[in-house]
Structure 1
Amino acid sequence: MFDIITDSACDLPREEIVRLDVTVVPFYVSTDGQTYLKEGEEMPVRDFYQFMVDQPAVLPKTSLPSLEDFEKVFRPRAAAGRPVLCLCFTGKMSGGVGSARNARQLVLEDYPDAVIEVVDTAAATVSEGATVENAAAMRDAGCTLADTLTWLEGTRPTNQIFFTVGNLDYLIKGGRIGKVTGRAANLLNVKPMIHFAEGEIFSGGMARGRQKSMEKAIEQLLGYLAERNADPDDYRIIVGYGYDVEEGRRFWMQLRAALRARYPDSSCEVGLLQIGATIAVHTGPYPLGVGVMRRWKPRS
């Protein structure tokens, strides 16, 4: 058996974290650029979204977990001789995985025989959550840490997200899209489609209006499955939403209906979770999309 550590960018709800027996190292959130609070602990995600909605002119910030934050969870496990698998938010968007690796080295100086594996998942929010769920399923089935690492590495390219945002304001503020292009798109009510794969964000096209962007995200997921001639039962599929809980649930229902229509013999389950601050600072309060990853299953 091994222990699983992750960071709060996985966005799994507290009850799921407890059920999976996973330890979360939080990112930090700031609404004033000076005081940083632990995401999900000292500042609930719902409060963070409410601030974004109430103060649209202010750009909140996040800060990565420190070396000391990871050391605090690694060290007692090393002392107890418990192997650790640490699954981190994509290193292409954050230095959190670097903090974890530095903490590992520090702990190994005192416990040279400790087993601490730090993994850049190349994932975020719903896709990182799927990675954690797969790792927990393998651990609970008795898989070794080495086998779990091999499987996660081999299936990492299957881990993708198709999503949209409410408008382009936060992408403009963050310098991820030009001001002229972004403002023109906002005036025309054009919604950007964003594709997240291998730890990076790519353009997924455009859609006219919110409903069309939701439909396009569903089309992109169905296309992903069709390209692989895949059975959706073999994949973890998770809807992520931002501030608007009802919209998230409505999108979740639309996606489930589309999957059932395309795959009538499938019993595929679709998860639903709220996207956290680590992604929301870049997308604004209305991100909405679907993540997908190959599902680990025990051999029959």
Structure 2
Amino acid sequence: MSDRKYKLYSDSTCDLSEDILKNMDVTLLDLSFEVNGVVKRKNDMTLPEFYSQMRNGAVTKTSQIGISDYEQAFEKELAAGYDVLYLGFSSGLSGSFNTSCIARDSVMEKYPEGKIICIDSLCASTGEGLLLIKADEKKKQGLSIDELAQWITDNRL
């Protein structure tokens, strides 16, 4: 079991509001999307703008989080002496979770003393958000990274 402190990560598919997120100790990685071939991130456009463009015929598509985004985030934490627990978007809906595992393995080769735990939430949106809120609460209550990983695994359904 690791004595190192750890950071809690998830992704923008948890759909939590900024009001909720400001009280949480969590870092979100953004999935990107395209509107008429232009790559955008969550804060580039409001949902009403996005849906308005769709209604007006814009071509849209989503994209998973890139491996370099995961590697940069995970490496930054391990280099600073933290471990990482990443709660990911359902593997049934996106390849992002699998990409996080590839990035974890790559970063762990450089930082074998650290720990990165990636957990498939098996959900998205409100379900993922609620699980993340509870995980943040449990982390603040003092659960170790291994204890929290087990709690998430036991309660994600």
CA shift at 1:128, angstroms? 0.4
- In structure 2, the residue matched to 1:42 is 44
User: CA separation in 1, counterparts of 2:48 and 2:68?
Assistant: 27
Note the alpha carbon deviations across 1:32-75, whole angstroms, 9 max, x for none.
1x22111x22233332122223x2x4452100110011112111
Q: Which amino acid aligns with 1:16?
A: I
Note the alpha carbon deviations across 1:159-215, whole angstroms, 9 max, x for none.
xxxxxxxxxxxxxxxxxxxxxxxxxxxxxxxxxxxxxxxxxxxxxxxxxxxxxxxxx
User: CA separation in 2, counterparts of 1:69 and 1:142?
Assistant: 28
Q: Is residue 82 of structure 2 the alignment partner of residue 82 of structure 1?
A: yes
CA shift at 1:89, angstroms? 0.6
User: CA separation in 2, counterparts of 1:45 and 1:102?
Assistant: 31
- In structure 2, the residue matched to 1:231 is none
User: CA separation in 2, counterparts of 1:8 and 1:126?
Assistant: 11
Q: Which amino acid aligns with 1:51?
A: Q
User: CA separation in 2, counterparts of 1:133 and 1:151?
Assistant: 13
User: CA separation in 2, counterparts of 1:147 and 1:102?
Assistant: 23
- The DSSP-based 3-state class of the residue aligned with 1:19 is coil
CA shift at 1:25, angstroms? 0.6
- In structure 2, the residue matched to 1:138 is 138
CA shift at 1:18, angstroms? 2.3
Q: Which amino acid aligns with 2:40?
A: L
CA shift at 1:103, angstroms? 1.2
> Are 1:2 and 1:139, in contact at CA under 8 Å, matched by a contact in 2?
no
Task: Find the structure with the greater CA-based Rg.
Answer: 1
- The DSSP-based 3-state class of the residue aligned with 1:16 is helix
- The DSSP-based 3-state class of the residue aligned with 1:4 is strand
CA shift at 1:28, angstroms? 0.8
Unpaired runs of 5+ in structure 2?
none
User: CA separation in 1, counterparts of 2:22 and 2:71?
Assistant: 21
- In structure 1, the residue matched to 2:9 is 5
Tell me the TM-score normalised to structure 1 length. Answer: 0.49
CA shift at 1:140, angstroms? 0.4
User: CA separation in 1, counterparts of 2:47 and 2:100?
Assistant: 23
The alignment's C-alpha RMSD in Å is 1.4
Percent same amino acid at aligned positions? 27
- In structure 2, the residue matched to 1:26 is 30
- In structure 2, the residue matched to 1:151 is 151
User: CA separation in 2, counterparts of 1:119 and 1:81?
Assistant: 21
User: CA separation in 2, counterparts of 1:62 and 1:90?
Assistant: 15
> Are 1:90 and 1:122, in contact at CA under 8 Å, matched by a contact in 2?
yes
Write out aligned runs for 1:100-179 (5 A). 100-157=100-157
CA shift at 1:150, angstroms? 1.2
Tell me the TM-score normalised to structure 2 length. Answer: 0.90
CA shift at 1:147, angstroms? 1.2
User: CA separation in 2, counterparts of 1:62 and 1:93?
Assistant: 11
- In structure 2, the residue matched to 1:220 is none
Write out aligned runs for 1:1-300 (5 A). 1-32=5-36, 34-38=37-41, 40-53=42-55, 55=56, 57-157=57-157
Quick one: higher RCO (CA 8 Å, sep 6+), 1 or 2? 2
Q: Which amino acid aligns with 2:30?
A: P
